[in-house]
Chain A
Amino acid sequence: MPAEGVKVRLQQDTIIPLHVAFDCQPGDILVIVGPSGSGKSTTLRTISGLYTPQHGRVSSNTTPWLDTDARINLPVQQRKTGMVFQHYALFPHLTALENIMIALRNDKINKTQRARQLLELINMQGLEGRLPGQLSGGQQQRIALARALAREPDVLLLDEPFSAIDQQTRRKLVRELLQLHQQIPTPLIHVTHNLNEARRIADRLCILHHGHTLQLDTPDAIMSRPHNSKVARLIGHDNIHDGLVEQHDHERQITRLHWQGMTLEAAYRPEMAAGAPCRWVIPTESVILHRQDRPSRGERENPVHGKITELVRLGESTSIKMLTEQGAAIYLNVPSHVARRNRLAEEALVAVSLLSEAIHMMPPESESSA
Protein backbone atom coordinates (compact mmCIF):
# COMPACT_ATOMS: atom_id res chain seq x y z
CA MET A 1 0.00 0.00 0.00
CA PRO A 2 1.43 3.41 -0.88
CA ALA A 3 2.41 5.45 2.16
CA GLU A 4 0.37 8.59 1.66
CA GLY A 5 0.29 9.75 5.24
CA VAL A 6 -2.69 11.19 6.99
CA LYS A 7 -5.45 13.34 5.45
CA VAL A 8 -7.70 15.37 7.73
CA ARG A 9 -10.83 17.33 6.73
CA LEU A 10 -13.10 18.46 9.58
CA GLN A 11 -16.27 20.58 9.60
CA GLN A 12 -18.21 21.42 12.70
CA ASP A 13 -20.33 24.39 13.79
CA THR A 14 -21.05 23.70 17.43
CA ILE A 15 -19.67 25.15 20.63
CA ILE A 16 -16.30 23.78 19.46
CA PRO A 17 -16.13 25.00 15.84
CA LEU A 18 -13.84 23.07 13.52
CA HIS A 19 -12.96 24.00 9.94
CA VAL A 20 -9.70 22.22 9.52
CA ALA A 21 -8.00 20.72 6.48
CA PHE A 22 -4.47 19.39 6.15
CA ASP A 23 -2.40 16.43 5.04
CA CYS A 24 0.72 15.07 6.71
CA GLN A 25 3.02 12.89 4.63
CA PRO A 26 5.63 10.40 5.89
CA GLY A 27 8.71 12.27 7.04
CA ASP A 28 6.66 15.42 7.54
CA ILE A 29 6.35 17.32 10.81
CA LEU A 30 3.19 19.37 10.85
CA VAL A 31 2.80 21.69 13.81
CA ILE A 32 -0.66 22.97 14.68
CA VAL A 33 -0.24 26.25 16.49
CA GLY A 34 -2.85 28.53 17.98
CA PRO A 35 -4.01 30.08 21.24
CA SER A 36 -5.86 28.15 23.96
CA GLY A 37 -9.31 27.11 22.80
CA SER A 38 -8.42 27.29 19.11
CA GLY A 39 -9.32 23.63 18.56
CA LYS A 40 -5.78 22.23 18.40
CA SER A 41 -6.28 19.43 20.91
CA THR A 42 -9.75 18.64 19.55
CA THR A 43 -8.23 18.19 16.09
CA LEU A 44 -5.65 15.78 17.50
CA ARG A 45 -8.29 13.92 19.50
CA THR A 46 -10.40 13.59 16.35
CA ILE A 47 -7.52 11.94 14.50
CA SER A 48 -6.95 9.48 17.34
CA GLY A 49 -10.67 8.73 17.61
CA LEU A 50 -11.17 10.19 21.09
CA TYR A 51 -13.52 12.82 19.64
CA THR A 52 -16.04 12.61 16.81
CA PRO A 53 -16.96 15.85 15.01
CA GLN A 54 -20.26 16.50 13.19
CA HIS A 55 -18.69 16.16 9.76
CA GLY A 56 -15.28 14.98 8.84
CA ARG A 57 -12.96 12.64 7.06
CA VAL A 58 -9.73 11.25 8.46
CA SER A 59 -7.79 8.70 6.48
CA SER A 60 -4.40 7.10 6.76
CA ASN A 61 -2.66 5.65 3.70
CA THR A 62 -6.04 5.56 1.94
CA THR A 63 -7.65 3.60 4.82
CA PRO A 64 -10.59 5.62 6.11
CA TRP A 65 -10.59 6.04 9.91
CA LEU A 66 -13.46 8.49 9.96
CA ASP A 67 -15.95 9.38 7.26
CA THR A 68 -19.12 10.80 8.72
CA ASP A 69 -20.88 10.72 5.30
CA ALA A 70 -20.16 7.01 4.86
CA ARG A 71 -20.81 6.37 8.58
CA ILE A 72 -17.30 5.08 9.12
CA ASN A 73 -15.84 5.73 12.55
CA LEU A 74 -13.12 3.29 13.60
CA PRO A 75 -12.73 2.97 17.38
CA VAL A 76 -9.58 4.37 18.98
CA GLN A 77 -8.07 0.91 19.36
CA GLN A 78 -8.25 0.18 15.63
CA ARG A 79 -6.62 3.41 14.48
CA LYS A 80 -2.87 3.11 14.22
CA THR A 81 -2.00 6.28 16.08
CA GLY A 82 0.70 6.91 18.65
CA MET A 83 -0.40 9.61 21.05
CA VAL A 84 1.73 11.55 23.52
CA PHE A 85 -0.55 13.30 26.00
CA GLN A 86 0.10 16.73 27.46
CA HIS A 87 0.87 15.35 30.92
CA TYR A 88 2.05 12.04 29.41
CA ALA A 89 -0.70 9.94 31.08
CA LEU A 90 1.77 7.16 31.90
CA PHE A 91 0.28 4.27 33.84
CA PRO A 92 1.50 5.04 37.38
CA HIS A 93 1.40 1.42 38.60
CA LEU A 94 3.54 0.09 35.74
CA THR A 95 7.30 0.41 35.33
CA ALA A 96 8.85 2.26 32.40
CA LEU A 97 9.34 -1.04 30.58
CA GLU A 98 5.79 -2.24 31.30
CA ASN A 99 4.36 1.09 30.14
CA ILE A 100 5.94 0.41 26.74
CA MET A 101 5.13 -3.32 26.69
CA ILE A 102 1.44 -2.75 27.26
CA ALA A 103 1.22 -0.82 23.99
CA LEU A 104 3.03 -3.48 21.92
CA ARG A 105 0.70 -5.38 19.67
CA ASN A 106 -0.17 -8.93 20.67
CA ASP A 107 1.44 -10.47 17.60
CA LYS A 108 4.86 -9.34 18.84
CA ILE A 109 6.74 -12.49 19.82
CA ASN A 110 9.33 -11.10 22.16
CA LYS A 111 7.71 -8.11 23.78
CA THR A 112 10.39 -7.54 26.42
CA GLN A 113 13.13 -7.42 23.80
CA ARG A 114 11.19 -4.99 21.61
CA ALA A 115 10.38 -2.76 24.59
CA ARG A 116 14.07 -2.71 25.53
CA GLN A 117 14.96 -1.69 21.96
CA LEU A 118 12.54 1.22 22.23
CA LEU A 119 14.02 2.24 25.58
CA GLU A 120 17.45 2.23 23.96
CA LEU A 121 16.13 4.35 21.10
CA ILE A 122 15.14 7.07 23.57
CA ASN A 123 18.32 6.71 25.67
CA MET A 124 16.51 5.37 28.72
CA GLN A 125 18.29 2.05 29.20
CA GLY A 126 18.92 1.31 32.89
CA LEU A 127 15.69 2.98 34.00
CA GLU A 128 13.32 0.25 32.83
CA GLY A 129 12.38 -0.78 36.37
CA ARG A 130 11.40 2.69 37.57
CA LEU A 131 7.80 3.70 38.13
CA PRO A 132 6.69 6.94 36.41
CA GLY A 133 6.62 8.70 39.80
CA GLN A 134 10.35 8.03 40.12
CA LEU A 135 11.19 9.66 36.78
CA SER A 136 11.81 13.32 35.92
CA GLY A 137 9.45 15.20 33.61
CA GLY A 138 11.82 14.79 30.67
CA GLN A 139 12.22 11.06 31.30
CA GLN A 140 8.45 10.62 31.55
CA GLN A 141 8.06 12.43 28.25
CA ARG A 142 10.56 10.06 26.61
CA ILE A 143 8.70 7.00 27.95
CA ALA A 144 5.44 8.44 26.65
CA LEU A 145 7.08 8.84 23.24
CA ALA A 146 8.41 5.28 23.28
CA ARG A 147 4.97 4.01 24.30
CA ALA A 148 3.46 5.89 21.34
CA LEU A 149 6.05 4.37 18.98
CA ALA A 150 5.43 0.87 20.35
CA ARG A 151 2.19 0.70 18.36
CA GLU A 152 4.17 1.17 15.12
CA PRO A 153 1.72 3.95 14.35
CA ASP A 154 0.75 5.39 10.97
CA VAL A 155 0.88 8.82 12.59
CA LEU A 156 2.44 10.22 15.75
CA LEU A 157 0.28 12.74 17.63
CA LEU A 158 1.97 14.98 20.19
CA ASP A 159 -0.24 17.19 22.37
CA GLU A 160 1.87 19.98 23.90
CA PRO A 161 4.48 17.42 24.98
CA PHE A 162 7.00 20.01 26.15
CA SER A 163 4.68 22.32 28.06
CA ALA A 164 5.53 20.97 31.53
CA ILE A 165 9.29 20.89 30.96
CA ASP A 166 11.90 23.51 31.81
CA GLN A 167 13.49 25.52 28.99
CA GLN A 168 16.85 23.75 29.03
CA THR A 169 15.47 20.20 28.99
CA ARG A 170 12.94 21.27 26.39
CA ARG A 171 15.67 22.28 23.93
CA LYS A 172 17.37 18.91 24.43
CA LEU A 173 14.14 16.96 24.01
CA VAL A 174 13.21 18.87 20.86
CA ARG A 175 16.62 17.99 19.39
CA GLU A 176 16.15 14.33 20.35
CA LEU A 177 12.67 14.28 18.86
CA LEU A 178 13.95 15.64 15.55
CA GLN A 179 16.77 13.06 15.48
CA LEU A 180 14.32 10.29 16.30
CA HIS A 181 12.01 11.45 13.54
CA GLN A 182 14.85 11.18 11.05
CA GLN A 183 15.20 7.51 12.01
CA ILE A 184 11.45 6.81 12.09
CA PRO A 185 9.83 8.97 9.43
CA THR A 186 6.24 8.45 10.60
CA PRO A 187 4.04 11.48 9.83
CA LEU A 188 4.17 13.60 12.97
CA ILE A 189 1.50 16.06 14.06
CA HIS A 190 2.51 18.25 16.95
CA VAL A 191 0.25 20.65 18.80
CA THR A 192 1.57 23.66 20.70
CA HIS A 193 0.72 27.22 21.61
CA ASN A 194 4.42 28.07 21.70
CA LEU A 195 5.30 29.73 18.40
CA ASN A 196 9.08 29.53 18.88
CA GLU A 197 8.87 25.80 19.53
CA ALA A 198 6.59 25.44 16.52
CA ARG A 199 8.99 27.29 14.21
CA ARG A 200 11.91 25.19 15.37
CA ILE A 201 10.22 21.85 14.82
CA ALA A 202 7.85 22.30 11.91
CA ASP A 203 8.27 21.42 8.27
CA ARG A 204 4.87 23.02 7.90
CA LEU A 205 2.81 25.14 10.27
CA CYS A 206 -0.95 25.10 10.52
CA ILE A 207 -2.23 28.28 12.15
CA LEU A 208 -5.51 27.56 13.90
CA HIS A 209 -7.86 30.19 15.33
CA HIS A 210 -11.37 29.53 16.67
CA GLY A 211 -11.26 26.17 14.92
CA HIS A 212 -10.37 27.63 11.50
CA THR A 213 -7.21 26.85 9.58
CA LEU A 214 -6.01 30.38 8.84
CA GLN A 215 -2.82 29.40 7.02
CA LEU A 216 -0.91 26.24 6.22
CA ASP A 217 2.63 26.69 4.97
CA THR A 218 6.31 26.49 5.85
CA PRO A 219 7.31 28.49 8.95
CA ASP A 220 9.37 30.90 6.81
CA ALA A 221 6.51 31.55 4.41
CA ILE A 222 4.05 32.16 7.23
CA MET A 223 6.40 34.46 9.12
CA SER A 224 7.28 36.54 6.05
CA ARG A 225 3.98 36.31 4.16
CA PRO A 226 1.03 35.92 6.55
CA HIS A 227 -2.29 35.58 4.71
CA ASN A 228 -4.00 38.26 6.77
CA SER A 229 -3.59 40.47 9.78
CA LYS A 230 -5.11 37.86 12.09
CA VAL A 231 -2.32 35.45 11.20
CA ALA A 232 0.17 38.29 11.47
CA ARG A 233 -1.00 39.06 15.00
CA LEU A 234 -1.10 35.39 16.02
CA ILE A 235 2.48 34.83 14.94
CA GLY A 236 3.58 37.86 16.88
CA HIS A 237 4.07 40.58 14.25
CA ASP A 238 4.21 43.99 15.96
CA ASN A 239 4.39 46.16 12.85
CA ILE A 240 0.94 45.90 11.27
CA HIS A 241 -0.29 49.02 9.42
CA ASP A 242 -2.97 50.21 7.02
CA GLY A 243 -2.08 51.75 3.67
CA LEU A 244 -3.07 52.02 0.01
CA VAL A 245 -1.72 50.04 -2.92
CA GLU A 246 -0.25 52.80 -5.12
CA GLN A 247 1.11 51.09 -8.22
CA HIS A 248 3.00 48.04 -9.44
CA ASP A 249 6.40 48.46 -11.05
CA HIS A 250 6.49 45.39 -13.28
CA GLU A 251 9.96 46.15 -14.49
CA ARG A 252 11.57 46.39 -11.06
CA GLN A 253 9.21 43.78 -9.64
CA ILE A 254 8.11 45.96 -6.75
CA THR A 255 4.80 47.32 -5.56
CA ARG A 256 4.55 50.88 -4.26
CA LEU A 257 2.57 51.50 -1.12
CA HIS A 258 1.13 54.76 0.13
CA TRP A 259 1.44 55.11 3.88
CA GLN A 260 1.22 58.20 6.10
CA GLY A 261 1.94 60.60 3.25
CA MET A 262 4.96 58.56 2.15
CA THR A 263 5.53 56.13 -0.67
CA LEU A 264 7.16 52.89 0.38
CA GLU A 265 8.58 50.25 -1.92
CA ALA A 266 7.28 46.82 -0.99
CA ALA A 267 7.45 43.18 -2.07
CA TYR A 268 5.84 42.69 -5.50
CA ARG A 269 2.13 41.81 -5.17
CA PRO A 270 0.63 42.38 -8.67
CA GLU A 271 -2.57 40.55 -7.67
CA MET A 272 -3.52 43.44 -5.37
CA ALA A 273 -5.53 46.15 -7.16
CA ALA A 274 -3.85 49.54 -7.43
CA GLY A 275 -5.70 52.18 -5.41
CA ALA A 276 -7.18 49.60 -3.02
CA PRO A 277 -6.70 49.79 0.72
CA CYS A 278 -4.44 47.17 2.27
CA ARG A 279 -2.74 46.04 5.44
CA TRP A 280 0.97 45.53 5.52
CA VAL A 281 3.48 44.03 7.89
CA ILE A 282 7.20 44.09 8.33
CA PRO A 283 9.10 41.83 10.75
CA THR A 284 11.00 43.76 13.44
CA GLU A 285 14.28 42.27 12.18
CA SER A 286 13.73 43.95 8.79
CA VAL A 287 13.55 47.43 10.31
CA ILE A 288 17.14 48.70 10.11
CA LEU A 289 18.39 51.52 12.32
CA HIS A 290 20.49 54.23 10.63
CA ARG A 291 23.82 54.94 12.29
CA GLN A 292 24.22 58.43 13.62
CA ASP A 293 27.98 58.84 13.16
CA ARG A 294 28.12 57.97 9.46
CA PRO A 295 25.73 57.00 6.68
CA SER A 296 24.70 53.32 6.71
CA ARG A 297 24.21 51.07 3.76
CA GLY A 298 20.73 51.09 2.28
CA GLU A 299 19.72 54.33 3.95
CA ARG A 300 17.72 55.29 0.92
CA GLU A 301 15.52 52.21 1.19
CA ASN A 302 12.19 53.40 2.61
CA PRO A 303 13.64 55.83 5.17
CA VAL A 304 11.33 56.70 8.06
CA HIS A 305 12.07 59.28 10.76
CA GLY A 306 10.74 59.36 14.28
CA LYS A 307 11.32 59.54 17.99
CA ILE A 308 12.06 56.68 20.40
CA THR A 309 9.23 56.34 22.94
CA GLU A 310 10.16 53.03 24.52
CA LEU A 311 13.48 51.29 24.96
CA VAL A 312 13.73 47.97 26.78
CA ARG A 313 17.04 46.15 27.17
CA LEU A 314 16.51 42.38 27.08
CA GLY A 315 20.04 41.05 27.58
CA GLU A 316 21.85 40.92 24.23
CA SER A 317 19.01 42.58 22.39
CA THR A 318 17.24 45.91 22.88
CA SER A 319 13.63 46.32 21.89
CA ILE A 320 12.68 49.78 20.60
CA LYS A 321 9.37 51.46 19.86
CA MET A 322 9.54 54.61 17.76
CA LEU A 323 6.76 56.96 16.77
CA THR A 324 6.91 58.43 13.27
CA GLU A 325 6.25 62.13 12.71
CA GLN A 326 2.68 61.14 11.80
CA GLY A 327 2.25 59.20 15.03
CA ALA A 328 2.50 55.58 13.76
CA ALA A 329 4.40 53.09 15.92
CA ILE A 330 7.31 51.11 14.45
CA TYR A 331 8.94 48.35 16.48
CA LEU A 332 12.50 47.17 15.96
CA ASN A 333 15.22 45.26 17.74
CA VAL A 334 18.88 46.19 17.79
CA PRO A 335 21.84 44.47 19.48
CA SER A 336 22.34 46.08 22.89
CA HIS A 337 25.91 47.15 22.06
CA VAL A 338 24.58 49.05 19.03
CA ALA A 339 22.01 50.78 21.25
CA ARG A 340 24.80 51.81 23.63
CA ARG A 341 27.20 52.97 20.90
CA ASN A 342 24.50 55.08 19.25
CA ARG A 343 23.48 56.45 22.69
CA LEU A 344 19.91 55.46 22.07
CA ALA A 345 17.50 56.65 24.72
CA GLU A 346 13.88 57.58 25.03
CA GLU A 347 13.03 60.88 23.26
CA ALA A 348 16.05 60.46 20.92
CA LEU A 349 15.38 61.22 17.25
CA VAL A 350 16.25 58.34 14.95
CA ALA A 351 15.84 57.16 11.39
CA VAL A 352 15.22 53.64 10.14
CA SER A 353 14.92 51.87 6.82
CA LEU A 354 12.09 49.47 6.10
CA LEU A 355 13.53 46.74 3.88
CA SER A 356 11.28 46.69 0.85
CA GLU A 357 11.49 42.93 0.23
CA ALA A 358 10.21 42.37 3.77
CA ILE A 359 7.15 44.61 3.46
CA HIS A 360 4.30 42.20 2.91
CA MET A 361 0.88 43.47 1.83
CA MET A 362 -2.36 41.71 2.75
CA PRO A 363 -6.08 42.34 2.28
CA PRO A 364 -7.53 44.99 4.63
CA GLU A 365 -8.99 43.92 8.00
CA SER A 366 -12.65 43.50 6.93
CA GLU A 367 -11.76 41.12 4.09
CA SER A 368 -9.12 39.23 6.01
CA SER A 369 -11.41 38.49 8.93
CA ALA A 370 -14.01 36.89 6.66
Chain B
Amino acid sequence: MDWDALLISLILGLATAAILIPLAIIIARWLAWHRFTGRHIAQAVIALPLILPPTVLGFYLLMLLGRESWLGQVYEGVAGRTLVFSFEGILIASVIFNIPFAIQPIQRSFESISHSIREAAWCCGLSGWQTFTRIELPLAWPGIVAAAILTIAHTLGEFGVILMVGGSIAGETRTIAIAIYDRVQAFDNQSAAIMSAVLLLGSFLAITLIYMLTERAGKHHAG
Protein backbone atom coordinates (compact mmCIF):
# COMPACT_ATOMS: atom_id res chain seq x y z
CA MET B 1 0.00 0.00 0.00
CA ASP B 2 1.44 3.33 -1.11
CA TRP B 3 0.30 5.61 1.71
CA ASP B 4 2.06 8.62 0.17
CA ALA B 5 0.08 8.20 -3.03
CA LEU B 6 -3.20 7.93 -1.08
CA LEU B 7 -2.30 11.06 0.89
CA ILE B 8 -1.45 13.00 -2.30
CA SER B 9 -4.74 11.90 -3.85
CA LEU B 10 -6.70 12.98 -0.77
CA ILE B 11 -4.94 16.35 -0.52
CA LEU B 12 -5.43 16.87 -4.25
CA GLY B 13 -9.13 16.01 -3.97
CA LEU B 14 -9.72 18.27 -0.98
CA ALA B 15 -7.74 21.17 -2.46
CA THR B 16 -9.59 20.83 -5.77
CA ALA B 17 -12.94 20.89 -3.97
CA ALA B 18 -11.88 23.85 -1.81
CA ILE B 19 -10.98 25.91 -4.88
CA LEU B 20 -13.70 24.70 -7.21
CA ILE B 21 -16.84 24.57 -5.06
CA PRO B 22 -17.03 28.32 -4.22
CA LEU B 23 -16.47 29.14 -7.90
CA ALA B 24 -19.00 26.51 -8.92
CA ILE B 25 -21.63 28.00 -6.58
CA ILE B 26 -21.27 31.41 -8.24
CA ILE B 27 -21.28 30.03 -11.80
CA ALA B 28 -24.04 27.47 -11.19
CA ARG B 29 -26.32 30.04 -9.55
CA TRP B 30 -25.81 32.39 -12.50
CA LEU B 31 -26.53 29.62 -15.02
CA ALA B 32 -29.60 28.45 -13.11
CA TRP B 33 -31.40 31.81 -13.06
CA HIS B 34 -30.16 33.82 -16.02
CA ARG B 35 -31.03 33.44 -19.64
CA PHE B 36 -28.43 35.00 -21.92
CA THR B 37 -27.21 34.53 -25.46
CA GLY B 38 -24.50 31.94 -25.59
CA ARG B 39 -25.89 30.10 -22.56
CA HIS B 40 -25.85 26.81 -24.46
CA ILE B 41 -22.27 27.35 -25.50
CA ALA B 42 -21.24 28.13 -21.92
CA GLN B 43 -22.97 24.96 -20.72
CA ALA B 44 -21.32 22.91 -23.47
CA VAL B 45 -17.85 24.23 -22.54
CA ILE B 46 -18.50 23.34 -18.92
CA ALA B 47 -19.63 19.81 -19.84
CA LEU B 48 -16.71 19.16 -22.24
CA PRO B 49 -14.43 17.40 -19.71
CA LEU B 50 -17.19 14.79 -19.28
CA ILE B 51 -16.81 13.45 -22.80
CA LEU B 52 -13.35 14.55 -23.87
CA PRO B 53 -10.74 11.74 -23.87
CA PRO B 54 -8.39 12.40 -20.90
CA THR B 55 -5.44 12.38 -23.33
CA VAL B 56 -6.95 15.26 -25.31
CA LEU B 57 -7.58 17.26 -22.14
CA GLY B 58 -4.10 16.35 -20.88
CA PHE B 59 -2.55 17.48 -24.15
CA TYR B 60 -4.18 20.91 -24.02
CA LEU B 61 -3.31 21.28 -20.35
CA LEU B 62 0.33 20.52 -21.18
CA MET B 63 0.15 23.26 -23.81
CA LEU B 64 -1.41 25.62 -21.27
CA LEU B 65 0.91 24.84 -18.35
CA GLY B 66 4.15 23.78 -20.12
CA ARG B 67 7.47 25.63 -20.03
CA GLU B 68 6.72 27.19 -23.42
CA SER B 69 3.39 28.61 -22.28
CA TRP B 70 2.82 32.08 -20.86
CA LEU B 71 1.42 30.66 -17.62
CA GLY B 72 4.27 28.15 -17.30
CA GLN B 73 6.90 30.85 -17.77
CA VAL B 74 5.31 33.21 -15.25
CA TYR B 75 5.09 30.39 -12.72
CA GLU B 76 8.66 29.31 -13.31
CA GLY B 77 9.82 32.91 -12.91
CA VAL B 78 8.06 33.23 -9.57
CA ALA B 79 8.45 29.74 -8.08
CA GLY B 80 11.74 28.74 -9.63
CA ARG B 81 10.40 25.40 -10.90
CA THR B 82 8.15 24.15 -13.67
CA LEU B 83 4.39 24.02 -13.35
CA VAL B 84 4.15 20.71 -15.18
CA PHE B 85 5.32 17.72 -13.16
CA SER B 86 4.48 19.58 -9.93
CA PHE B 87 1.64 19.27 -7.43
CA GLU B 88 0.40 22.76 -8.35
CA GLY B 89 0.27 21.68 -12.00
CA ILE B 90 -1.88 18.64 -11.29
CA LEU B 91 -4.03 20.78 -8.98
CA ILE B 92 -4.79 23.19 -11.84
CA ALA B 93 -5.48 20.23 -14.12
CA SER B 94 -7.70 18.65 -11.47
CA VAL B 95 -9.70 21.87 -11.02
CA ILE B 96 -10.31 22.06 -14.77
CA PHE B 97 -11.32 18.45 -15.38
CA ASN B 98 -13.66 18.54 -12.38
CA ILE B 99 -15.60 21.61 -13.56
CA PRO B 100 -18.68 19.69 -14.79
CA PHE B 101 -18.73 17.44 -11.71
CA ALA B 102 -18.86 20.49 -9.46
CA ILE B 103 -21.12 22.81 -11.44
CA GLN B 104 -23.84 20.50 -12.71
CA PRO B 105 -25.20 19.16 -9.37
CA ILE B 106 -25.14 22.65 -7.86
CA GLN B 107 -26.87 24.13 -10.90
CA ARG B 108 -29.64 21.49 -10.67
CA SER B 109 -30.19 22.29 -7.00
CA PHE B 110 -30.42 26.05 -7.61
CA GLU B 111 -32.80 25.41 -10.51
CA SER B 112 -35.13 23.53 -8.18
CA ILE B 113 -35.58 26.61 -5.95
CA SER B 114 -38.66 28.40 -7.28
CA HIS B 115 -38.41 32.10 -7.99
CA SER B 116 -41.32 32.84 -5.67
CA ILE B 117 -39.32 31.42 -2.72
CA ARG B 118 -36.68 34.09 -3.29
CA GLU B 119 -39.32 36.77 -3.78
CA ALA B 120 -40.95 35.67 -0.54
CA ALA B 121 -37.59 36.08 1.19
CA TRP B 122 -37.26 39.65 -0.10
CA CYS B 123 -40.83 40.35 0.99
CA CYS B 124 -39.83 39.07 4.45
CA GLY B 125 -37.23 41.85 4.51
CA LEU B 126 -34.18 39.68 3.76
CA SER B 127 -31.47 41.38 1.71
CA GLY B 128 -29.97 39.70 -1.34
CA TRP B 129 -27.07 38.37 0.75
CA GLN B 130 -29.34 37.20 3.58
CA THR B 131 -31.57 35.47 1.03
CA PHE B 132 -28.48 33.73 -0.35
CA THR B 133 -27.11 32.57 3.00
CA ARG B 134 -30.36 31.79 4.84
CA ILE B 135 -32.61 30.48 2.05
CA GLU B 136 -30.71 29.62 -1.13
CA LEU B 137 -27.61 27.98 0.35
CA PRO B 138 -29.49 25.69 2.77
CA LEU B 139 -31.84 24.64 -0.05
CA ALA B 140 -28.97 24.07 -2.47
CA TRP B 141 -26.85 22.38 0.21
CA PRO B 142 -27.45 18.74 -0.86
CA GLY B 143 -26.33 19.67 -4.38
CA ILE B 144 -23.25 21.43 -3.04
CA VAL B 145 -22.27 18.48 -0.85
CA ALA B 146 -22.90 16.09 -3.75
CA ALA B 147 -20.68 18.26 -5.95
CA ALA B 148 -17.90 18.21 -3.35
CA ILE B 149 -18.10 14.43 -2.93
CA LEU B 150 -18.15 13.87 -6.70
CA THR B 151 -15.17 16.18 -7.16
CA ILE B 152 -13.10 14.43 -4.49
CA ALA B 153 -14.08 10.93 -5.64
CA HIS B 154 -13.44 11.78 -9.26
CA THR B 155 -10.03 13.25 -8.40
CA LEU B 156 -9.10 10.05 -6.56
CA GLY B 157 -9.89 8.06 -9.67
CA GLU B 158 -8.46 10.33 -12.38
CA PHE B 159 -5.54 8.78 -14.20
CA GLY B 160 -4.84 9.98 -17.74
CA VAL B 161 -4.80 13.74 -17.26
CA ILE B 162 -2.71 13.53 -14.07
CA LEU B 163 -0.21 11.20 -15.72
CA MET B 164 0.22 13.52 -18.70
CA VAL B 165 0.52 16.73 -16.70
CA GLY B 166 2.26 15.41 -13.58
CA GLY B 167 4.02 12.19 -14.50
CA SER B 168 4.58 9.88 -11.56
CA ILE B 169 6.85 11.63 -9.07
CA ALA B 170 6.65 9.95 -5.67
CA GLY B 171 5.47 12.32 -2.96
CA GLU B 172 4.66 15.05 -5.49
CA THR B 173 2.41 13.91 -8.35
CA ARG B 174 2.01 10.16 -7.90
CA THR B 175 -1.64 9.71 -6.97
CA ILE B 176 -3.21 6.43 -5.91
CA ALA B 177 -4.58 5.72 -9.40
CA ILE B 178 -1.09 6.14 -10.85
CA ALA B 179 0.43 4.07 -8.04
CA ILE B 180 -1.94 1.20 -8.93
CA TYR B 181 -0.80 1.38 -12.56
CA ASP B 182 2.87 1.40 -11.42
CA ARG B 183 2.32 -1.59 -9.16
CA VAL B 184 0.65 -3.61 -11.95
CA GLN B 185 3.54 -2.72 -14.29
CA ALA B 186 5.91 -4.03 -11.62
CA PHE B 187 3.84 -7.29 -11.27
CA ASP B 188 3.06 -6.35 -7.64
CA ASN B 189 -0.55 -7.46 -7.91
CA GLN B 190 -1.09 -7.67 -4.16
CA SER B 191 -0.42 -3.95 -3.58
CA ALA B 192 -2.48 -3.10 -6.66
CA ALA B 193 -5.35 -5.20 -5.28
CA ILE B 194 -5.32 -3.47 -1.88
CA MET B 195 -5.22 0.00 -3.39
CA SER B 196 -7.92 -0.87 -5.92
CA ALA B 197 -10.12 -2.14 -3.11
CA VAL B 198 -9.61 1.13 -1.20
CA LEU B 199 -10.63 3.14 -4.29
CA LEU B 200 -13.59 0.86 -4.97
CA LEU B 201 -14.89 1.17 -1.42
CA GLY B 202 -14.34 4.93 -1.37
CA SER B 203 -16.18 5.41 -4.66
CA PHE B 204 -19.05 3.20 -3.53
CA LEU B 205 -19.45 5.14 -0.27
CA ALA B 206 -19.31 8.45 -2.12
CA ILE B 207 -22.03 7.49 -4.59
CA THR B 208 -24.24 6.05 -1.82
CA LEU B 209 -23.90 9.30 0.12
CA ILE B 210 -24.90 11.32 -2.94
CA TYR B 211 -28.04 9.22 -3.45
CA MET B 212 -28.96 9.67 0.21
CA LEU B 213 -28.54 13.43 -0.04
CA THR B 214 -30.50 13.67 -3.28
CA GLU B 215 -33.41 11.81 -1.72
CA ARG B 216 -33.41 14.08 1.33
CA ALA B 217 -33.33 17.14 -0.89
CA GLY B 218 -36.27 15.74 -2.89
CA LYS B 219 -38.32 15.48 0.33
CA HIS B 220 -37.56 19.13 1.16
CA HIS B 221 -38.58 20.39 -2.24
CA ALA B 222 -41.74 18.32 -2.24
CA GLY B 223 -42.87 20.55 0.62
Contacts and interface: CB of A to CB of B under 8 A. Distances in A.
A77 B138 contact: no
A77 B223 contact: no
A77 B130 CA distance: 11
A85 B220 contact: no
Nearest to A131: B223
B122 to A, nearest CB: 4
A134 B221 CA distance: 12
B143 to A, nearest CB: 13
A129 interface: no
A81 B120 CA distance: 11
Interface string B92-115: 000000000000000000000010
Residues of B contacting A: mostly = helix
A48 B124 CA distance: 11
A283 interface: no
Given A132-B223, A133-B219, A93 B126 contact: no
A102 B220 contact: no
A81 B223 contact: no
Interface string A142-153: 000001101100
Interface string A115-154: 0000000000000000111110000000000011011000
Considering residues B119, B219, B221, which has the most beta carbons from chain A within 10 angstroms of its beta carbon? B119
Contacts of B212: none
Contacts of B222: 133
A89 B119 contact: yes
Contacts of A85: 116, 119-120
A133 B223 contact: yes
Given A92-B139, A93-B139, A102-B134, A147 B223 contact: no
Interface in B115-164: 116-117, 119-127, 134-135, 138-139
Interface in A99-120: 102-103, 105
A134 B220 CA distance: 10
Interface string A67-99: 000000001110001110111011111000000
B127 A77 contact: yes
Contacts of A82: 123
A89 B117 contact: yes
A93 B220 contact: yes
Contact of B124 (A49, A75, A103, A131): A103
Interface string A41-81: 00000001110000000000000000000000001110001
Contacts of A134: 223
Nearest to B119: A50
A192 B123 CA distance: 20
| Residue of A77, A83, A133, A134 most packed against chain B (CB within 10 A) | A77
B125 A92 contact: no
Interface of A: 48-50, 75-77, 81-83, 85-87, 89-93, 102-103, 105, 131-135, 147-148, 150-151
Which 4 interchain pairs have the tightest Cβ spacing? A133-B223, A89-B120, A103-B124, A89-B116
18 contacts: A48-B123, A50-B123, A77-B126, A81-B123, A83-B123, A85-B116, A85-B120, A89-B116, A91-B121, A92-B139, A92-B223, A93-B138, A102-B134, A131-B220, A133-B222, A134-B223, A147-B124, A151-B125
